[in-house]
Amino acid sequence: MLVINSNLAELFDQANFCDSINLCMIRFGLRRWRFQMSPEALTRVSPSNGIPPELAVEIEHQASVLDQAEPEVILAWAAQRFGSGLTMATAFGVEGCLILHFLSKVAPATRVFNLDTGYQFVQTLLVRDRIRQKYGIDVELVRPATTVADYEREHGGPLHRHRPDQCCHDRKVIPLRRAVSGYSAWISGIRADETAHRARGRVVQWDAKFGL
């Protein structure tokens, strides 16, 4: 699989919300998002990074073409290129809600999911209801195989307190791999100011970690 790393150049200049996810009066400068995809049609795979040579050329081309494109243009391209093979992950952050705002205009039928670790705040999950009400997008909750109660019983309490990486792997990474399995592309909200690695992200790029 491959990543279309749709990186918005600058997140918002300023956003005025009528409510916590009402994007009716938004002014923005573009910052960073991320897409991800996997082409079944291209079968020749590079042994170094798992990316087909033809696809590497397409990624480089689209990364240049879409580098300064408006959000609707980027999303419309992804929806046309991947159709029902396109999905989106959101944690209901501001950048994710922005993407959903634009996605609802150009590809509202795109499957959207949230990694529900069992540790999310109730207020976070309430945003899911408001997204459904405003945009008609029903965000799927993807959960780990075990409940929080069973998981903490197995590990003698909240594992995230002393082994956060293991907890993240069990309750985020594994469910994420399952959630994107069978899809050709996925979108997730990242920002250039979060890490130096993410600041180097391009509009379209390969994600070797997830083979997307």
Would you tell me how many other CB atoms lie within 10 Å of the CB of residue 69?
A: 18
The alpha carbon of residue 64 and the mean position of all alpha carbons in its chain are separated, in whole angstroms, by 20
Would you tell me how many other CB atoms lie within 10 Å of the CB of residue 92?
A: 22
The mean pLDDT value for 192-210 works out to: 77
What is residue 48's predicted lDDT score, i.e. its pLDDT?
Answer: 52
Please give the helix or strand (H or E) that residue 61 lies within, else none.
helix 53-65
CA 164 to CA 160: how far, in whole Å? 4
Residue 27 and residue 63 in contact, taking contact as beta carbons nearer than 8 Å = no
pTM for the model: 0.77
pLDDT in tens, 4-41: 444 433 333 333 333 333 333 232 333 344 555 444 43
Confidence tier at 130 by pLDDT (50, 70, 90): very high
37 φ/ψ angles, rounded to the nearest 5 degrees: -145, 165
CA 155 to CA 47: how far, in whole Å? 38
What is residue 195's predicted lDDT score, i.e. its pLDDT?
Answer: 82
What is residue 35's predicted lDDT score, i.e. its pLDDT?
Answer: 52
What is residue 5's predicted lDDT score, i.e. its pLDDT?
Answer: 44
pLDDT at residue 99 is higher than 80:
yes
pLDDT in tens, 131-185: 999 999 999 999 999 999 999 999 999 999 989 999 999 999 999 999 999 898 8
Query: What proportion of the chain, given as a percentage, has pLDDT over 70?
Result: 76
CA 90 to CA 2: how far, in whole Å? 18
Query: Residue 43: which region, alpha, beta or left (left: phi > 0; alpha: psi -120 to 50)?
Result: alpha
Q: Name, in order, each residue with C-beta under 8 angstroms of 138's C-beta and a sequence gap of 6 or more.
A: 112, 132
